[in-house]
């Protein structure tokens, strides 16, 4: 795949380094001293000096024929401009970093963003879910397609322990895509006859809104009552 990364900071450099072995990477950075550093640190990657908010810079990087553009600058406005320009140039899927959670509502398809990534929001979500429910952990959020992949760990006292997947009545929009068996026993297929054990991790695919309480109830996992509920 051809992937264009806009923003040569720590995040952009890390992504470029990890992706370069399997993909064609072009990195765009507007700070000259940073570009010089990146060209030494990542000699196999094409690093361009320029402002990706200017159409000619994205065109020079090959955005029109790209499979993916990842905008990870420290400026939300710049990331949104890059997303819009990418769509105008008929580029590929756009991942855009959200630096300030209050701007998160802007990062949608209307602005050319296919997948918004907000580190503060993700961290808050992880902490909040852990404090409230303690069992459901989000792994992947594809907001453009309204799909979420999450994991649930079965504690020893869960009602689903010792039962099969066919015996668990999850919400209609939730499917188990795999079961990671406890103790390093490997990945089990998500079939009706698959038996569930203590410590197993269920990978759940949710289309639409996830009703976490309903999921935990179906699995027989104890959770705190909602505030105000007696």
Q: Is residue 98 part of a domain?
A: yes
Residue 105: other Cβ atoms inside 10 A = 9
CATH of the domain at 182: 3.30.70.1450
pLDDT at 126 over 60: no
Instruction: Give the end of a domain, one of 117, 151, 175.
Output: 117
pTM given for the model: 0.57
Same domain, 49 and 85: yes
CB within 8 A of 43, min separation 6: which ones?
none
pLDDT mean over 123-149: 51
Same domain? 20 vs 101: yes
Does the pLDDT value for residue 136 go beyond 90?
no
Domain end marker among 86, 117, 148: 117
Cβ atoms of residues 102 and 129 within 8 Å: no
Residue 173 backbone dihedrals phi, psi, to 5 degrees? -90, 10
Distance in angstroms (rounded) separating the CA atoms of residues 195 and 37 = 53
| pLDDT surpassing 80 at residue 169 | yes
* pLDDT greater than 70 at residue 119: no
Q: State which of 58, 85, 117 marks the end of a domain.
A: 117
Q: Are 87 and 137 part of one and the same domain?
A: no
The pLDDT assigned to 99 comes to 86
Query: What's the token pair of residue 94?
Result: 């756009």
Q: How far apart, in whole angstroms, are the C-alpha atoms of residue 212 and residue 219?
A: 11
Instruction: Count up the domains in the chain and report the number.
Output: 2
pLDDT of residue 227: 40
Confidence of residue 139 (pLDDT cuts 50, 70, 90): low
For residue 207, is it within any domain?
Answer: yes
The model's confidence at residue 163, banded by pLDDT at 50, 70 and 90, is very high
The verdict on 52 and 156 lying in the same domain is no
* pLDDT tens string 20-40: 888 999 999 999 999 999 999
CB 4 within 8 A of CB 33: no
Q: What does each C-alpha distance from 215 to 44, 66, 72, 117, 136 come to in angstroms? A: 46, 39, 34, 25, 9
Per residue in 72-114, pLDDT tens?
999 999 999 999 999 999 999 999 988 887 888 899 999 999 8
Note the helical H segments in the chain: 10-19, 32-41, 55-61, 76-88, 119-132, 212-219
| Residues 52, 78 share a domain | yes
Structural domain containing residue 164: 123-219
């Amino acid at each position: 795949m051809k992937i264009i990364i806009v923003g040569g900071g720590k995040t952009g450099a890390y992504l470029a380094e990890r992706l370069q072995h399997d993909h064609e990477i072009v990195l765009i950075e507007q700070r000259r001293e940073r570009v010089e550093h990146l060209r030494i640190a990542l000699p196999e990657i094409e690093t361009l000096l320029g402002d990706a908010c200017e159409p000619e810079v994205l065109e020079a990087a090959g955005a029109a024929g790209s499979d993916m553009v990842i905008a990870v600058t420290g400026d939300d406005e710049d990331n949104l401009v890059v997303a819009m320009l990418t769509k105008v140039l008929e580029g590929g899927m756009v991942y855009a970093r959200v630096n300030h959670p209050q701007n998160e509502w802007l990062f949608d398809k209307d602005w050319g963003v296919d997948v918004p990534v907000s580190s503060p929001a993700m961290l808050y979500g992880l902490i909040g879910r852990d404090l409230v429910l303690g069992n459901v952990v989000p792994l992947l959020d594809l907001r453009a397609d309204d799909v979420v992949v999450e994991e649930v760990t079965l504690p020893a006292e869960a009602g689903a322990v010792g039962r099969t997947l066919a015996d668990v009545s999850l919400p209609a929009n939730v499917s188990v895509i795999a079961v990671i068996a406890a103790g390093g026993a490997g990945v089990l297929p998500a079939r009706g006859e698959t038996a569930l054990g203590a410590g197993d991790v269920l990978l759940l695919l949710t289309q639409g809104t996830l009703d976490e309480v309903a999921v935990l109830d179906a699995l027989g996992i104890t959770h705190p009552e909602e505030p105000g509920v007696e």
